Structure 1
Amino acid sequence: MGIDERKLFKIREDHEKVLREAIDRLQKQPDEIRRDITSEKEKVAGAGFRKRGTVNNLPVVEYLRPPGTTGHEPSDRDTAEKRAKIKEMMQFAWENYKRYAWGCNELRPVSKQGHSSNLFGSLQGATIVDSLDTLYIMEMYEEFEAAAEWVQTHLDFNVNTEVSVFEVNIRFVGGLLSAYYLSGKEVFRRKAVELGLKLLPAFNTPSGIPWALLNLSSGVGRNWPWASGGSSILAEYGTLHLEFMHLSKLSGRAVFAQKVLNIRKVLNHLDKPRGLYPNYLNPSSAQWGQHHVSVGGLGDSFYEYLLKAWLMSDKADEEGKKLYFDALQAIESNMIRKSRGGLTYIAEWKGGLLEHKMGHLTCFAGGMFALGADGVPGDRRDRHMELAAEIARTCHESYAHTHLKLGPEAFRFDGGVEAIATRQNEKYFILRPEVIETYMYLWRFTHDPKYRQWGWEVVQALEQHCKVEGGYSGLRDVYADRPSHDDVQQSFFLAETLKYLYLLFSEDEHLPLEHWVFNTEAHPLPVIRREHTTKLHPQQ
């Protein structure tokens, strides 16, 4: 044979081999395919592998899968059955989204069509990106691959649209980062960095405190028109740190870390009323807006990210730790109260006056107190664990006091009421995860069976009142005799609520807390070990 004939023979031989392998794969039963995927996954987990792609000038990074990306079947039969039920719920929610709203941001499960809020503009695919890690964690690999293919071929950030920087960061950037760390697929790293770069113009303000809203095409930013005096919101600009530190690590670009560390610098120079952080900060003057403080909406995840920045840094970020515990001390002194009936709650602080109201969003704080308890200065660990348990009980009571056994958006402790919504616009339930999140953390730290029992009560209520023919819907009034559906299956129901329920009924080695930190959308990100820090290049 001449050299060209040898090449041709080799090409034909390779082609036939590929065809044989393809036919062999097609003939396998689904359970065999699943076993092969698991086997390959375990090989990769054992050996680690090096990604060599340099798309978008990304540096070569060594991908080593962190421990616990998937878990073992629970040894207790009842627990295993409950976990399997939660996986069925995820399959039902996902299949209906795929059937009626594929590619849209969210699903309308009653009217069986797509839905999008103004948070994302014309950016598409929120449920797909938000669900990636849940699909992987629950070992729904075929669905994960379909979602990954959509990300590869259809997820487009080159759109002339205005988006919420906060929501796009926690759902899209967080979801892509988590999918990358779980699976090692390079497309997720590339897309996460691409979107991160698109968000950088939001920081182009006199103080470097980012705008709330950004046009992804023009880079023009602004704040919500209703926010105090054109202010940025604490929970929004304070909930970028985890994702942006990982973007720096994966891109080799220091600019992401610099942007979020500058936010801290601005905050450190400001006087805090009674040590508290007001919800509003003007990005031009770098001065507080109205002195309204909340651990619920507008404030919540700022405090969460101070703690998690320290944990994610392998406990090297001492500044984050100090800021967190100082803030908590001020909250404990000024805002934590006990009702006449003995329920602990976190009130809202308005210029020195307390509003004895607690939002569903605030219920995440039970898990936060527990997660940070080991790092509390002095001998206050037990006090923080006690607070965590008391907040979990209060939030459970807010569910137990409703007719549909699902919690209202906000509940009050005045006029003789205990953990009950008294205003019509606070009685709705939009499939939120915060109460389940706290149950999951307290189960991990105490193994008290009541947290699984309370979690299972939520599962039963979701199945009875929120499940409709086309998915799961929120409710307009949890005190009504029968459910009135709001016709939205929120993307965070798949990203957070179902994930935290699944982990509540999983073994502790599934996403172990010493190796993983969850962003505020429940996307797990690995702890950045001190020995694995990457040299960053100040380029954009």
Structure 2
Amino acid sequence: MTAPTLPLPLAGRPAHSTRRAVLTGAGGAAAALVLATAASVRSAASASADTRVAAEVKAEFLHGWRGYQDIAWGYDEVRPISRTRHDFFAAGHTFGLSIVEALDTLFLMGESAEAARCCDWIEAHLDPAQDASVQVFEAVIRLVGGVLAGYQATGRPAMLRRARELADRLLPAFTASPTGLPYTHVNLRTGAVHGDVATLAEIGSNAMEFGLLSRLTGDSRYYDASVRAYRAAFSRRSSLDLLGTSLHVETGRWADTASVAPDAPVDSFYEYLWMAGAQLGDRTLTGWYRALTAAILRHQAVRVGGRLWFRAVDFRTGRARGPVRQQELGAFYAGLLAKGGALDEGVAYFDAWTAVLDRFPVLPEAVDCTTLEPVDRSGLLRPEYANAAFDLWRATGQDRFRSAAYRWFTAMRERQRVPGGYSTLHDVTAPVGAAHAYADLTPGYWFAENLKYLWLMFSATPRFDYRAGLLSTEGKALVGLRSTWV
């Protein structure tokens, strides 16, 4: 089954392409006028459809946002069903995570007053020196990235200072390491580090945020630390140009030698090689991306039932490890492949995930690629399929990707909307509305990502540069925000 089209035509579709012939004479002039009028009507209908979908998307975002405001304002995450709060980084400590996550989405949606309220809270209450041990990876992509995006949107100097304070508190994870591979956790107050086995995502998902911070402050320490970590991992690739899953920080030895790309916990390592290379004009990172991606396509790509998937292999021999299974977290890779130059493979991988969406309107956390049956039935409000649709739409201009994203959106609205926001699911196969199916959490990333991709696809907002804009792995608009602050 193919993805359904939207109820009205979509903007961006050629109005009459091959029919644009040279018309001569009085009859030709009349025909040309008819064609021009028809094209104008179609264009108006398309714009109307886009406007309606954008309004739907914004309404759902604000539904979730008001639930967070009413129940958990100032805390990390909301549990909308029990009407309670959740500390994401450390029990008993809050960083206002959902506020930071939502900031640039609110700005892109034209909600300037709400975005300003977020900035006010961050400047007054986000404490970067709490006596708490935080995961460096999450703190960089969520907190540092979110505050930097807020600065890009508003130009408020205090936001840049806060981002720098956070980064300074995280740097010991890099500078205390004898190999340059970062420790996974750091105490923000004391600088004490721990976690001496780091996955690729933990090692390499910081170049965009640290690179931007170095550019804005003129302080190279942040980007230098990021590139040193990347180099330490890349230099340990196998003769096949594959990487394993995790490394011992202090010895540099591999702790897990399976190449599981594009799944977690390695996913954003590859994403940031291309994205940071494009963002900062770093040809070294781009070259590393191309070498590693060529190896993944050579040794891990596999056709199952005519669909493109990626299998886990031993990074030294290329031998398969276990059955072909895939995490929903890996669905983003379709868009990354397209951006990185492997468009056909990106489209094929997206279509494989669309086949899963045909069976399960809310994508399960993991599937068996042979049967397309879930091996993990939970639905954690993941944004990766919509992320890929956005990237492929930008790469191709084809509205089928927007249509697929809209279908994904309507299923989320039907099955995961609850009073007070949106909820994760224990089981995506449970009947719609079944009380036992809800896991009662709106993850902070829902405010950063899910509806931002839809909004950007349908709103044509002047606040984003569609040609040059780049979003981080957490959906932060680190490149391309157009500040029209009022």
**TM-score band (shorter)?**
0.7 to 0.9
Displacement of 1:248 in angstroms is 1.2
Contact in 2 for aligned 1:206/1:284 (Cα 8 Å): yes
Cross-structure match for 2:150: 179
Cross-structure match for 1:337: 302
Deviation per CA, 1:66-114: give whole Å up to 9, x if none: xxxxxxx996101110011100111111111000000110000101121
Displacement of 1:247 in angstroms is 1.4
- The change in CA–CA distance for 1:121 and 1:362 in structure 2 (over 3 A counts) is farther
- The change in CA–CA distance for 1:508 and 1:420 in structure 2 (over 3 A counts) is farther
Cross-structure match for 2:15: none
SS of the residue corresponding to residue 274 of structure 1 reads coil
- The change in CA–CA distance for 1:135 and 1:143 in structure 2 (over 3 A counts) is same
Q: Choose the corresponding residue for 2:425, options 475, 482, 503.
A: 475
Contact in 2 for aligned 1:232/1:282 (Cα 8 Å): yes
Contact in 2 for aligned 1:409/1:427 (Cα 8 Å): yes
Contact in 2 for aligned 1:214/1:222 (Cα 8 Å): yes
**Mapping 1:138-537, distance limit 5 Å:** 138-203=109-174, 204-223=176-195, 230-272=196-238, 274-294=240-260, 295-313=262-280, 316-340=281-305, 342-350=306-314, 352-354=319-321, 355-373=323-341, 384-402=342-360, 405-414=361-370, 417=371, 419-421=372-374, 423=375, 426-482=376-432, 483=434, 484-507=437-460, 511-526=464-479
Contact in 1 for aligned 2:237/2:243 (Cα 8 Å): no
Q: CA RMSD in A?
A: 1.9
SS of the residue corresponding to residue 87 of structure 1 reads helix
Measure the CA separation in 1 of the matches of 2:91 and 2:205.
17
- The change in CA–CA distance for 1:387 and 1:121 in structure 2 (over 3 A counts) is farther
Letter in structure 2 aligned against 1:427: R
Cross-structure match for 2:29: none
Deviation per CA, 1:109-143: give whole Å up to 9, x if none: 10112112346872420000011000000001121
Letter in structure 2 aligned against 1:264: Y
Letter in structure 2 aligned against 1:231: V
Deviation per CA, 1:313-367: give whole Å up to 9, x if none: 2xx3111111001000110011111112x11112222452243011101100011
Contact in 2 for aligned 1:74/1:507 (Cα 8 Å): no
Contact in 2 for aligned 1:74/1:506 (Cα 8 Å): no
SS of the residue corresponding to residue 505 of structure 1 reads helix
Measure the CA separation in 2 of the matches of 1:156 and 1:112.
25
- The change in CA–CA distance for 1:321 and 1:285 in structure 2 (over 3 A counts) is same
- The change in CA–CA distance for 1:99 and 1:446 in structure 2 (over 3 A counts) is same
Measure the CA separation in 2 of the matches of 1:465 and 1:99.
22
Contact in 1 for aligned 2:364/2:377 (Cα 8 Å): yes
SS of the residue corresponding to residue 178 of structure 1 reads helix
SS of the residue corresponding to residue 107 of structure 1 reads strand
Measure the CA separation in 1 of the matches of 2:45 and 2:225.
42
Measure the CA separation in 2 of the matches of 1:515 and 1:445.
12
Contact in 1 for aligned 2:66/2:420 (Cα 8 Å): no
Cross-structure match for 1:21: none
Question: Could you tell which deviates more after superposition, 515-524 or 94-103?
Answer: 515-524
Deviation per CA, 1:26-83: give whole Å up to 9, x if none: xxxxxxxxxxxxxxxxxxxxxxxxxxxxxxxxxxxxxxxxxxxxxxx99610111001
**Mapping 1:62-81, distance limit 5 Å:** 76-81=47-52
- 2:61 aligned with 1:90: yes
Measure the CA separation in 2 of the matches of 1:428 and 1:327.
31
TM-score (norm 1): 0.76
Measure the CA separation in 2 of the matches of 1:399 and 1:221.
41
Deviation per CA, 1:298-317: give whole Å up to 9, x if none: 1100000000121102xx31
Question: Could you tell which deviates more after superposition, 344-353 or 151-160?
Answer: 344-353
SS of the residue corresponding to residue 247 of structure 1 reads helix
Measure the CA separation in 2 of the matches of 1:508 and 1:446.
19
Deviation per CA, 1:453-472: give whole Å up to 9, x if none: 21111221122111111110
Measure the CA separation in 2 of the matches of 1:78 and 1:159.
47
Contact in 2 for aligned 1:348/1:358 (Cα 8 Å): no
Measure the CA separation in 1 of the matches of 2:449 and 2:90.
18
Measure the CA separation in 1 of the matches of 2:415 and 2:286.
41
SS of the residue corresponding to residue 406 of structure 1 reads coil
Measure the CA separation in 1 of the matches of 2:452 and 2:263.
21
Contact in 1 for aligned 2:464/2:480 (Cα 8 Å): no
Unaligned runs of 5+ in 1: 1-72, 224-229, 374-383, 529-540
Measure the CA separation in 1 of the matches of 2:348 and 2:475.
23
Letter in structure 1 aligned against 2:74: G
Contact in 1 for aligned 2:465/2:480 (Cα 8 Å): no
Measure the CA separation in 2 of the matches of 1:99 and 1:273.
55
Contact in 1 for aligned 2:203/2:230 (Cα 8 Å): no
Cross-structure match for 1:124: 95
SS of the residue corresponding to residue 255 of structure 2 reads coil
Displacement of 1:510 in angstroms is 5.5
- The change in CA–CA distance for 1:271 and 1:93 in structure 2 (over 3 A counts) is closer
Contact in 2 for aligned 1:496/1:521 (Cα 8 Å): yes
Letter in structure 2 aligned against 1:502: W
Letter in structure 1 aligned against 2:348: E
SS of the residue corresponding to residue 208 of structure 1 reads coil
SS of the residue corresponding to residue 130 of structure 2 reads coil
Displacement of 1:208 in angstroms is 1.8
SS of the residue corresponding to residue 180 of structure 2 reads coil
Question: Could you tell which deviates more after superposition, 361-370 or 445-454?
Answer: 445-454
Identity %: 28
